[in-house]
Structure 1
Amino acid sequence: MADFNGEKRTDGSRRQQHNKETGLPLWQCVVIDGDEDAGRKEIGVTVKFAAKYQPVPPENKSGFPWTPVEFVGLTALPYVDDNGMRPRIAWSFRATDLVAPGQGGAKAGPKAAA
């Protein structure tokens, strides 16, 4: 994610944005809903990551033309978007990692003994 609040470099590029709390670089990916009935505003969302290294999606073994993923530590933060003709509730999605479906529990750490 480019830091649009920071100064431009001499070549015109911008530095990468960093998380204000952790200092880690910020990354983002666009997630697309494969539902043919999804509306134009529902078809995709952006998920942001604060991580030392760029998150890499798992290998696509699904047979679908897109790669199914599971987000680890996914949070949804509501905010008021007042850039349009009238304010609306919008969402900011953040995660700590993305993994193959069903592998999120393995990334979350050891499970407690029952």
Structure 2
Amino acid sequence: MALQGPVPVTFAMVFPHGCYIVGEVEPVKDFDASSNGRFVQARDKQTQELVWQVAVMDGDPTLKPAQKTVAVKILAPVQPVPPAPMPGLPFTPVEFDGMSVTPYVNAAGRLAYSIKVHEMHAPRQTNQTNQTNQTAKVGKDAA
């Protein structure tokens, strides 16, 4: 099969309704290398970069509560800093770049996905205002 390993995806494909940080950015433990109380941080098998993890809540309103929170692994040489909280919001919105998913079968025998990213940042401003203005202009010109 030609498709092997992590599958590149975009943020909009994985989180079309956005997502929100609901946990701390933490190092991922390498269970094979850690022993006798000594913590060894995991490294990505392909890039050898350190692996960090953050829990995020998917903004999709149709998901069941148990499906809303997922772990996102961040590959970075130093601990990533989450975006600043936004006033008036209970959770901090976040976006990711350099995303990939790796399918696997979990302990319950169900298909699951590991989400890895290379960058975490605050959501970028959309051009929704410009799109609305363009639509209004096209509608006006057509009349």
Report the Cα distance in structure 2 between the residues aligned to 1:97 and 1:57, rounded to whole angstroms: 10
Query: 4+ residue runs of structure 1 moved beyond 4 angstroms?
Result: 34-37
Distance 1:77 1:62, change over 3 A: farther
Report the Cα distance in structure 1 between the residues aligned to 2:33 and 2:55, rounded to whole angstroms: 23
Aligned residues: 98
Q: More helix per residue: 1 or 2?
A: 2
Q: CA deviation at 1:35?
A: 5.9
In the superposition, the TM-score normalised over structure 1's length comes to: 0.74
After the TM superposition, which residues 20-99 of structure 1 pair with which residues of structure 2 at under 5 Å, given as runs? Answer: 20-33=45-58, 38-81=63-106, 83-84=107-108, 87-99=109-121
In 2, are the aligned partners of 1:27 and 1:54 still within 8 Å (CA)? yes
Paired amino acid for 1:74 = M
Q: In structure 2, what is the equivalent of residue 112 of structure 1?
A: none
In 2, are the aligned partners of 1:62 and 1:68 still within 8 Å (CA)? no
Report the Cα distance in structure 2 between the residues aligned to 1:76 and 1:20, rounded to whole angstroms: 14
The SS at the match of 2:67 is coil
Paired amino acid for 2:116 = R
Report the Cα distance in structure 1 between the residues aligned to 2:86 and 2:70, rounded to whole angstroms: 23
Query: Which sections of structure 2, spanning at least 5 residues, go unmatched?
Result: 1-27, 126-143
Is residue 38 of structure 2 the alignment partner of residue 13 of structure 1? yes
Report the Cα distance in structure 1 between the residues aligned to 2:113 and 2:87, rounded to whole angstroms: 28
Give the alignment's Cα RMSD to 1 decimal: 2.0
Distance 1:22 1:76, change over 3 A: closer
Q: CA deviation at 1:97?
A: 1.0
Q: CA deviation at 1:59?
A: 0.7
Report the Cα distance in structure 1 between the residues aligned to 2:63 and 2:87, rounded to whole angstroms: 21
